[in-house]
Amino acid sequence: METSTQINGLSPAKKKDNAETKENLWSEILGEVQKQGTAKLPSNKCVLVLGDNSSGKTSLIAKLQGVEDPKKGSGLEYAYIDVRDEYRDDLTRLGVWILDGDIGHLNLLKFALNEKNYAHTLVILAISMTTPWNWQEQLEHWMKVLGDHLEQLKISSEERQAEKQRLVNLWQTYCETADELDPSSPMKRNNRLSSVDDDLDLMPLPDGCLVTNHGLDIVVVITKTDYMITLEKEFDYREEHFDFMQQWIRRFCLHYGASLFYTSVKEDKNCDLLYKYLTHRIYDLPFRTPALVVEKDAVLIPAGWDNQKKISILYENMHSCKPDDFFNDIIAHPPSRKSVSNKEVEVQTEDEQAFLARQLQILQQGGGQQQQTTRSVSPMRTPQPAGKGAPRTPSSQGSPNKKMEPKLNTSTPSGEGVLANFFNSLLHKKSGTPSGPNSLSGTPSLNHSNGTDGLVALDNISVRTDAAAELDRLSKSVKKDLNFAPSSEC
């Protein structure tokens, strides 16, 4: 019996041991699955976006959100980005604070970055390629604003030191050869971290790295890189200008231990990579893209990769400038093309009550009398010269007498002097003065109060009377000439 039992199977004791081993194995597997299930993505992470106005902050965050029509606000804006872990099938929201570029809103920074979320915040500094001559001023300004704000926070020295040491470890443990690892690896840097932690062999920091350590993950984002074509065409930028700009910004990022991204929302360059890098730094999700320095408008440099030796490669193409030259001496502000806009003077509106008080003073000083005088004169009446009486009328211009002129000329060709005196007398009668020939013909003197119609009627009567008297005189002179002509022939 014992022999058959040993041949056909194991002893009962060994079977019991194997069963216990399998049970313990399943328990370990279930325990690991349970631990992984509880390790969900945290919901207290946030991003703070700083930068001047018109630097593309709102458009950049809208692109990361997947929003096509961003709505720009003012002051301190809040948004969120959906973050999904495909491996764990987990979803969370990354809060985003966007601070207005106006210095009057700097007091709102305390709501976005404070003692509670200091260790869970990543900072993005956004500057635009449309104004590269303002890079130095803008970056130094916002770094100073960030540094001054962090000094005012009541954070324990232990927490500050722990966050600063975390950044130092990030640079010391970064593996440059991780870019050549198998892309299927979920985390390139984790394998390197484990080996380094075991060996306790940390690499020293590169020269000029983390000179200023704020204990925060910082990403410098250059927006609107599609504007480089315009800089080449309109501002005569060459390759060495862009190389000078890149080496300068890379040294700046090295000084603060920051990452660098060249992005373009219009052409969708590096926006997806920026999203993946943010989730990698905040949630420790995979990021398998190596550093990109070949394309001048799509540069990508993760924190821990760069050093002075790699930056010096750009010096080879810089012939007309040196790396240590002052930034604005090489990338100078272009002269203003719109000279007219510089001469425009801002017009200040006058207070309504002051304007009304000034008008009242003018009216009280005599403006009312002048206004009354202008109202008494009809706007349709032609102004008259000084010293004249009645206005000119169609009858006073002698138009009926002009019709009589050809008849008189044909009947009495020798009476040119008489006709000249006749028309001269008519011209003198146009003034309508009482002392003229009208008073001799028995017509009453003109009175301005009679109106325009009365003036016209009186003037017509005087003209007809003078014309009749003159014609009588002319007819008598013609008869005398006719009677004298036959006698002379005899």
pLDDT mean values, one per 10 residues, the chain (490 residues): 48 61 74 66 95 95 91 90 89 96 94 96 98 97 97 95 95 66 42 42 86 97 97 95 97 97 96 96 93 95 95 93 94 74 69 89 73 48 46 44 43 55 65 45 44 49 63 70 49
What CA–CA distance (Å, rounded) separates 409 from 149? 108
Instruction: Provide the pLDDT for residue 478.
Output: 61
Taking phi over 0 as left and psi of -120 to 50 as alpha, with beta for the rest, 42 belongs to: beta
Instruction: Give pTM, 2 decimals.
Output: 0.62
Q: What angle do CA 189, 190, 192 make, to 5 degrees?
A: 65
Kindly give the interhelix angle for 271-283 and 57-65, rounded to the nearest 10 degrees: 80
What CA–CA distance (Å, rounded) separates 262 from 191? 28
What CA–CA distance (Å, rounded) separates 354 from 113? 47
The strand pairing partners of 222, in sequence order, are 127, 262
Sheet holding 259-262, edge to edge: 76-85, 90-99, 46-50, 121-128, 217-223, 259-262, 300-301
Instruction: Provide the pLDDT for residue 189.
Output: 41
Instruction: Provide the pLDDT for residue 386.
Output: 46
What CA–CA distance (Å, rounded) separates 306 from 77? 33
318, two tokens:
């810089």
Kindly give the interhelix angle for 239-256 and 135-152, rounded to the nearest 10 degrees: 10
